[in-house]
Structure 1
Amino acid sequence: MELIASKITAVFSLVAFAFIHSLTASLPFKRLVMRVAGPGAEKLYLPAYSLVAGLTILPLVYQIYKNPGRVLYKIPSPWRWLMVGGQLIAGMLAPIAFMDAPHRFKVRSQLAGPQASEADSLKIRGVYRWVRDPFLLSGLVMVWLTPVMTVNLLVVYILTTIYFYLGSLHWETRLLAQFDDEYREYQKRVHRIIPGLRGSVKESDQSSVNI
């Protein structure tokens, strides 16, 4: 009974995090914040969003730490350290992806859609030349390269993977609304998750995707 309760608590913590995370990432919520707080809120939105995401994930982390559940497997060395190394590399991918395309996160441009200024056009560069959603790739690698897997962790990871995927669909919908045909052409050239599976956008090819 205690094992079932621990799973329910962990799932509830994940659902609560997903709800808050999705709400604060939605365009209606951003539109409301901009209307209430004014244009100056744009500079503070991303730091505040990241802080809220970090704080709301803490209950889930605590639940997993307190009740990890039965161990399913432990990867021995040296393979364990290769997996941890992969997680570290994946962890560095997210901030690199942000630096490669900061214009994608401007609230003003997201709300303006294709009517945004030319300065806020798609601008494919860096990791986005090989993968459309480096954040999804980074999250999946960090989750599934965990060298020690428990029952509760597996349940959370499966649900997290589903949430990551649904979040990626939402992300693409928002990018289509923001960049319109530019992004549709980009989708034809670059795969969303697996780097290089569909192709890549080279510097010499950027004109063909309206960059």
Structure 2
Amino acid sequence: MSITMHTGPNSPQAAVSFPARLLTLCYGGLAYLIFLGTFLYAIGFVAQFVVPKNINTGSSHPLMTALLTNLVLMSIFAVQHSGMARRGFKRMFARFASPAIERSTYVLLASLSLILLFWQWQPIPAVAWQIDDPVLAAIATAGGALGWLIVLYSTFLISHFELFGLTQVVSHYAGRVVEPMKFKTPGLYRLIRHPIYLGFIIAFWSTPMMTYGHLLFAAVTTAYIFVGIYLEECDLIAMFGSEYRRYREKVAMLVPGIF
């Protein structure tokens, strides 16, 4: 599913002072750059590639300490990510700050909560399973890369720069109004309703060696994805009504033709 917002001329925001509009633009640009760095680090963190600290490295801690710490870190992200995405929070935010920076603020805080998770994550290095065959191991590694590509590609299908707040702050800077959201289903969204979530699931589970720390991360984030889908679809039904219900009846959630 794709929700898009389009800009048009003659916005009341044009009356906002130039320094205020410039500050909004810089804020949105900084939030996007922080997101981009966090996203790239997330790939290395899960795939155990390049980054200085990944999902299986770091100081050793007792099992219960590591388990509880990691659950708290993932809960912080889940509460922030889902709570700020709700329509009620967006209405409350608009009372205190410009709606132009709402998405950028959401993206910034989500990135910071992930940075906290990367920084404080405590590995549980015991191996749950391992693929020894080099061909199968390579396929698993390639599957992880495919998952991240699906995530990135899907964001561009639904307007990448709008999804991460840049369109809103650029429009505000230029004095253009953001028009009401429109519903459309481009590309992968004609096959499944949530290709971004599918990409994350593939990326998190595709690995030639699954430690218990990685297993915890993959299992909890997958459970959170299903909760997120439920909450998101409640909002979409409230926003688009029968149009989204018809779409949900025709298009699978994550796997074409299955569910």
Give yes or no for the alignment of 1:91 onto 2:91. no
1:19 — aligned with what? 79
Give the SS at the match of 1:25.
Answer: coil
Instruction: Report the Cα distance in structure 2 between the residues aligned to 1:186 and 1:84, rounded to whole angstroms.
Output: 33
1:150–1:32 CA distance, 2 compared to 1 (3 A):
same
Cα drift, residue 170 of structure 1? 0.8
Deviations 1:123-163 (A, max 9, x none): 22211000001122111111111222112222232221111
Cα drift, residue 177 of structure 1? 1.3
Deviations 1:147-195 (A, max 9, x none): 2211222223222111110001111111111211111111111101102
Give yes or no for the alignment of 1:147 onto 2:204. no
Q: Which amino acid aligns with 2:231?
A: H
Q: Which amino acid aligns with 1:23?
A: G
Give yes or no for the alignment of 1:189 onto 2:250. yes
1:112 — aligned with what? none
Relative to the length of structure 2, the TM-score reads 0.63
Cα drift, residue 80 of structure 1? 2.1
Instruction: Report the Cα distance in structure 1 between the residues aligned to 2:69 and 2:243, rounded to whole angstroms.
Output: 43
Relative to the length of structure 1, the TM-score reads 0.76
Q: How does 1:1-211 map to 2 (within 5 A)?
A: 2-39=62-99, 41=100, 44-64=101-121, 66-76=122-132, 77-102=134-159, 120-197=181-258
Cα drift, residue 16 of structure 1? 1.4
Cα drift, residue 63 of structure 1? 4.2
Instruction: Report the Cα distance in structure 2 between the residues aligned to 1:75 and 1:35, rounded to whole angstroms.
Output: 53
Contact map agreement 2:140 2:208 (CA 8 A) in 1: yes
Structure 1 unaligned spans of 5+: 108-116, 199-211
Cα drift, residue 100 of structure 1? 2.1
Contact map agreement 1:90 1:139 (CA 8 A) in 2: yes
Instruction: Report the Cα distance in structure 1 between the residues aligned to 2:255 and 2:126, rounded to whole angstroms.
Output: 32
Give the SS at the match of 1:72.
Answer: strand
Contact map agreement 2:104 2:164 (CA 8 A) in 1: no
Give the SS at the match of 1:7.
Answer: helix
1:124–1:67 CA distance, 2 compared to 1 (3 A):
closer
1:175–1:139 CA distance, 2 compared to 1 (3 A):
same
Contact map agreement 2:63 2:124 (CA 8 A) in 1: no
Structure 2 unaligned spans of 5+: 1-60, 166-178
Contact map agreement 1:190 1:197 (CA 8 A) in 2: no
Percent identity between matched residues is 28
**Could you say which structure has the higher helix fraction?**
1
Deviations 1:43-84 (A, max 9, x none): x333432232222123333444x4233112222322222222
